[in-house]
Chains A and B, each alone.
Chain A
Amino acid sequence: MDKQTAASLLDTMYLIRAFEEKVSELYAKLEIRGLLHLGIGQEAVAAAVCSFLDRDDLLYSSHRAHGHCLAKGGDPRRLLAELAGKANGYCGGKGGSMHISAPEVGFMTATGVVGGTIPLALGSALFCRERRPGRIAVVFFGDGAMNMGAFQESLNIASLWKLPLLFVCENNGYAEFTPISAHTLVERASEHAAVYHIPTVTVDGNDLLAVLQAVEPAVARARSGDGPSLVECLTYRMRGHYEGDPSKYRELSELQEWKSKDPVARFVAWAIDAGLLDETERDAIEAAARSKVEAAADFAREGPVPERDAVSRGVYA
């Protein structure tokens, strides 16, 4: 890895971290509302996966989507404005946190339906196969989506039709307030992928380098038309399931343990050790991310509210 790559990966992770912290703050201050799922603790997955994607690759996300959108090149100002329900948000205030769409950077859509975007990603992959060889589709989903029929059907079809697709499971151990062990005996998405003959690997999702290493060949395989792969990233969400969730279902000690595996701090330590980064550079990258997010908050705050009659406009093309 070169210095520039290290800086760019760190930049993405800090941007996500700063953005999500700002969202949390604005929510607490009642400046924004809604059902908000933050990705603090899971930044390495978004940053690593998206570092292999171009603008024209087609990305789908879950309900925990802010970080994926930012990592794909989404504009934090328009994203935050969308969360604030403003007319200058990506969707003019009609989408909100769980329905962000930023197709201009290849971020197709998030979803409020667990597993709902997996089939959509197959269709975009079919498009790539037919019309844009070399382009790929990518879908992020949580461990909870593993138990959806759509996931199983999608593994089958993607494998059968050799679609240029990357499945990324962010296995954070919980679906809402329930640990994975209470939902299934098959606790690894990679086990499911293997059944459908899809190349797969499970990695430490808080180790950016491990995610990079797993994703690189998977993306290459999809680009060259050899079919889908599934990368499973074991990670942890540091906030509640949604903002405001008191998280009574998990022990403080568990939280502490994962805090010590913080993906941003780990990468910083590694990069400094490897001579790719120094403290001053680190500080500058973090400060730049925070000021971008401040600007986004101003943009959202000052953005116009949508016209009232926009409510029934734009239902049909």
Chain B
Amino acid sequence: MTPAAGTTFLQSINQALREEMLADPDVYVLGEDVAVGGPYGATRGLAEEFGEHRVINTPISEGTVVGLAIGAALQGLRPVVEIMFVDFITLALDQLVNHGAKLRYMSGGQLKVPLTIRTMFGVSGGWGAHHSQSLEAWLAHVPGLKVVMPSTACEAGALLRAAIRDDNPVLFMEHRGLYWTKDDQAEPTTIESTLGTARVRRPGRDVTVVATGRMVSTALRAAERLSAEGVEIEVVDPRTLSPLDLDTLAASVRKTGRAVIAHEAVVQGGIGGELVAQLQLAVFDYLEAPILRVGAPFAPVPAGEQLEAAFVPDEHSIIAAVRSCLGRA
């Protein structure tokens, strides 16, 4: 079901969880405080409706809880684990990377791990270095994991439902800065159409801007400004970072001949580097300029308001990169 107009990103997540729990008794929700709704209400009402045996509050033991969810998934349950902040995925990496991601392959196809991990990420509100990171590139590096990053309220719900129905471990990354945003209009989004497919958010002829998570809305703002000066950028949201829908990205760059990759993670080692490498191989003959990257400086996330603002790329960063791509100062 497509969320009604006016639904926030957070409500869309909540509805998706509820619908999947209704549709499939094997869907379980686990995490810290999830039985009381979680820190922002993503799991609100679920324990009341489905009982605390399916909406399970866990101790603060990220590594063990993720391992436990993998062990339950091996037997056919479909756990949805909430890791409150992606910063704490570090504590669960052993289970996620060494077991969750690899058991399918290591077992020669005998096992599968239908697990979803929902987690908050991104900079907002001065929360500093331990509650603001964008660690998607680490996980997109791991064979066997899928990494999903929605950018709109409607798509958040559809992508989450697709993630839960997927038979692989999926890391589902929710930008905290998007939680209270609403889509301009309700978008009919089918679950089938989302996982593993990119989406062109705004067509344009001059430069392709591939943007992820909250950077999609930043890119759309940049597009408005650039349009006023006669530059039309095409904004493409990969939506799934692993596996990557290279075809859609490459088709766009073939048309425009230029590309900028924009994400909130630090540039060094970020997913942008991978996108550049894959794109240049796919569209080298069409490129009019080097592909540029926009992202955060190589530093932990600072907490203070002014430093935080200096850390997060904004529409001016994207505009500058687009101009540079076009050979304009």
Contact = CB atoms under 8 A, between A and B. Distances in A.
B98 A116 contact: yes
B74 A123 contact: yes
Contacts of B301: none
A157 B59 contact: yes
A99 B99 CA distance: 10
Interface in A287-317: 314-317
Interface string B92-135: 00110011001111111111111000000000000000000000
A316 B75 CA distance: 17
Interface in A69-128: 89-95, 99, 101-104, 108-109, 111-113, 116-128
Interface string A6-19: 00000000000000
B108 A316 contact: no
Contact of B67 (A92, A112, A118): A118
A285 interface: no
Contact of B75 (A101, A118, A123, A149): A123
B105 A120 contact: no
B74 A153 contact: no
Nearest to A149: B63
Contacts of A283: none
Contact of A314 (B53, B68, B104, B113): B104
Contacts of B67: 116, 118-120, 122-123, 150, 154
A156 interface: yes
A264 B98 CA distance: 35
Contacts of B75: 58, 123-124, 127-128, 131
Contact of A119 (B68, B107, B111): B68
A279 interface: no
B70 A123 contact: yes
Nearest to B60: A153
A273 interface: no
B11 to A, nearest CB: 28
A120 B104 contact: no
Given A101-B107, A108-B74, A153-B61, A120 B94 contact: no
Contact of B63 (A95, A101, A117, A119): A119
A265 interface: no
B95 A119 contact: yes
A123 B95 CA distance: 12
B71 interface: yes
Contacts of A269: none
A199 to B, nearest CB: 20
Interface string A202-242: 00000000000000000000000000000000000000000
Contact of A95 (B72, B106, B146): B106
Contact of A317 (B53, B106, B108, B112): B112
Contacts of A157: 58-59, 61, 64-65, 68
A137 B71 CA distance: 10
Contacts of A58: 75
Contacts of A92: 108-109
B77 A103 contact: no
A90 B108 contact: yes
A124 B168 contact: no
B59 A103 contact: no
Given A121-B71, A127-B76, A315-B144, A103 B168 contact: no
A158 B146 CA distance: 29
A156 B64 CA distance: 10
A123 B72 contact: yes
Contacts of B104: 314-317
Given A123-B75, A124-B71, A153-B64, A116 B95 contact: yes
A124 B73 CA distance: 8
Nearest to A121: B71
A130 interface: yes
Contact of A109 (B111, B114, B168): B111
B6 interface: no
A102 B94 CA distance: 22
B69 interface: yes
Nearest to A103: B110
B167 interface: yes
Given A120-B71, A124-B72, A156-B59, A103 B167 contact: no
Contacts of A118: 64, 67
A28 interface: no
A272 interface: no
Contacts of A89: 108
Given A122-B71, A123-B70, A90 B98 contact: no
A116 to B, nearest CB: 6
Contacts of A126: 68, 71-72, 77
A229 B104 CA distance: 30
B39 interface: no
Given A103-B111, A109-B106, A160-B59, A317 B168 contact: yes
A259 B37 CA distance: 58
A99 B70 contact: no
A317 B243 CA distance: 13
B53 A123 contact: no
Contacts of A94: 105-108
B98 A119 contact: no
Contacts of A131: 75-77
8 contacts: A99-B107, A103-B111, A113-B99, A119-B66, A123-B71, A123-B72, A317-B167, A317-B168
